[in-house]
């Protein structure tokens, strides 16, 4: 898309424009709202749009910029929130008919509060599968969200609406959550950048019912914008008992560093994953780009066992935990697939769950030791291209659950490591493929540095919609 279209300016470009007076927050907000009006009926990225509130906030921001006194780091930047997180004054339906729309809606989640304090202009809430339970984005309440590269295909999930919004100029900054790949998978399928920070880097309240595999992070069109968003979202909040102490680091500094001299591990196939040949070729080429950037790249198998069952015991018991809050009448309204995994989760014994916790601990330790040798690990984000929208698994594949086609993402939720997806090309059908970049726990800066370095040789390409 041409840079003359204000809807596609990055947050960092908008902020420079506000500072110089060449563009205004009202103009940027109107451009984002125009994209939403033009495309949301086709793609279903937003389930709540607050045009009036956004323009009012943009006018307030414009007045602050006119006085050269911006409120914070993202003052006036059009922003969206995923419909899983509390946002004061807006219903948080979580994609579910089981949620009472009357609320009350009186609190902001920690990162929502930080974005608001820093002057973000909230456009609305983006779509999610019910309670974020699966790797595609559709639900009985708000319908099917579609991929802007091919609307017959899924954009992935569960932050599918946020990814579609990022890819199509419906705002600059978009919040997602990731309990098994839910930021990285839609980033991979829509051709944008998404990072799952180290668990606890972004405070959460209330904690996801799926527990300590669930992370919060950004989806954006540039790495620098994700770093900017993390600088705001990661500020402390006393409500999250799990949150990491504020170490004073600034994610924005990482995007200007170099990977020269780094030792990088490249894993084309994790475990028994059957990777589509075109994706495998693109990821291999992407790994080679780091050699040109001055790093050493070695093909290595990381010490990750088949963790599908370990993840199921964490994710499915989380679903069972979620169901304890509902009446029988409410449960009957919920997605049958979510009902099924909740029932499976409830059938696990306490000892089976505790065994899975020990397996998870062993994985985390093994990966910490692995990263004593390697700065980052490169893998495909997803093994297959986007498939038909409205299905949990590719039709005719013989698979039954979304966890069966996402082997590269959920292991790093178990280990709580920072991991990102950055576009690395498109298939012969024109569908995006993603490169996953993983670092040791706590070194989100390395993921951002590697991502920014790769972005210099392959900038994000956007769909022409």
Name the helix (H) or strand (E) containing 445: helix 444-457
Among 82, 196, 441, 446, the active-site one is: 82
Neighbouring residues of 156: CB distance < 8 A, sequence distance ≥ 6? 135, 136, 137, 163, 185, 186, 187, 188, 189, 190, 382, 386
182 in catalytic set: yes
- C-alpha 420/C-alpha 400 separation (Å) is 26
Residue 258 known to be catalytic: no
336: CB partners within 8 A, 6+ apart: none
- DSSP for 137-199 reads -EETTTEE--BTTBTTB---SSSHHHHHHHHTTS-SEEEEEESSSTTHHHHHHHT-EEEEPPT
- Cβ atoms of 266 and 435 closer than 8 Å: no
Q: Which residues contact 197 (CB under 8 A, 6 or more apart)?
A: 215, 216, 217, 230, 234, 418, 444
Looking at 80, 177, 182, 409, which residue is catalytic?
A: 182
- Lay out the sheet containing 121-126: strands in order across: 46-49, 121-126, 78-82, 173-178, 215-220, 193-196, 419-426, 432-438, 376-380, 263-266, 296-299
Antiparallel, parallel or unpaired: β 193-196 and 419-426: antiparallel
10, 24, 85, 158: the active-site residue: 158
Parallel, antiparallel, or unpaired: how do β-strands 78-82 and 173-178 relate? parallel
Task: Please confirm whether the linkage preceding 104 is cis (ω < 30° from 0).
Answer: yes
Catalytic residues, which ones?
A: 82, 158, 182
């Amino acid at each position: 898309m041409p840079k003359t279209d204000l809807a596609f300016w990055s947050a960092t470009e908008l902020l420079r424009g506000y500072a110089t007076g060449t563009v205004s927050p009202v103009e940027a907000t109107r451009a984002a709202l125009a994209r939403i009006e033009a495309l949301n009926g086709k793609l279903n990225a937003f389930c709540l749009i607050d045009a009036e509130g956004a323009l009012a906030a943009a006018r307030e921001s414009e007045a602050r910029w006119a006085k050269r006194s911006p409120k914070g780091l993202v003052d006036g930047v059009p922003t969206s929130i995923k419909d899983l997180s509390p946002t004061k004054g807006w219903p948080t339906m979580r994609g579910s008919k089981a949620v009472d729309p009357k609320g009350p809606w009186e609190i902001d989640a920690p990162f929502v509060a930080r974005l608001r304090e820093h002057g973000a202009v909230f456009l609305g809430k983006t779509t999610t599968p019910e309670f974020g339970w699966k790797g595609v984005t559709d639900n009985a309440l708000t319908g099917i969200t579609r991929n802007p590269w091919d609307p017959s295909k899924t954009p992935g999930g569960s932050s599918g609406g946020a990814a579609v919004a990022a890819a199509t100029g419906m705002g600059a900054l978009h919040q997602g959550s990731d309990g098994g790949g839910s930021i990285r998978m839609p980033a991979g399928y829509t051709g944008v950048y998404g990072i799952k920070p180290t668990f606890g880097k972004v405070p959460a309240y209330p904690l996801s019912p799926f527990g300590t595999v669930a992370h919060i992070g950004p989806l954006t069109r540039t790495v620098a914008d994700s770093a900017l968003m993390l600088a705001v979202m990661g500020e402390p909040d006393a409500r999250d008992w799990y949150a990491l102490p504020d170490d004073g680091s600034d994610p924005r500094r990482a995007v200007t560093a170099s990977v020269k001299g780094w030792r990088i591990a490249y894993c084309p196939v994790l475990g028994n994953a059957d990777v589509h040949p075109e994706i495998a070729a693109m990821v291999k080429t992407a790994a080679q780009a780091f050699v040109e950037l001055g790093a050493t790249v070695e093909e290595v198998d990381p010490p990750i066992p088949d963790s599908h069952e370990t993840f199921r015991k964490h994710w499915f018991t989380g679903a069972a935990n979620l169901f304890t809050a509902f009446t029988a009448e409410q449960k009957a309204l919920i997605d049958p697939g979510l009902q099924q995994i909740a029932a499976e989760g409830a059938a696990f014994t306490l000892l089976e769950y505790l065994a899975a916790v020990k397996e998870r601990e062993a994985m985390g330790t093994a990966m910490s030791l692995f990263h004593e040798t390697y700065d980052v690990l490169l893998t495909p984000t997803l093994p297959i291209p986007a498939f038909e929208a409205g299905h949990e698994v590719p039709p005719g594949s013989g698979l039954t659950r979304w966890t069966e086609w996402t082997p590269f993402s959920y292991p790093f939720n178990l280990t709580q490591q920072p991991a990102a997806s950055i576009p690395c090309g498109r298939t012969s059908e024109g569908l995006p493929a993603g490169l996953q970049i993983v670092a040791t726990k706590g070194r989100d800066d390395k993921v951002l540095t590697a991502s920014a370095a790769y972005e210099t040789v392959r900038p994000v390409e956007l769909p022409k919609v």
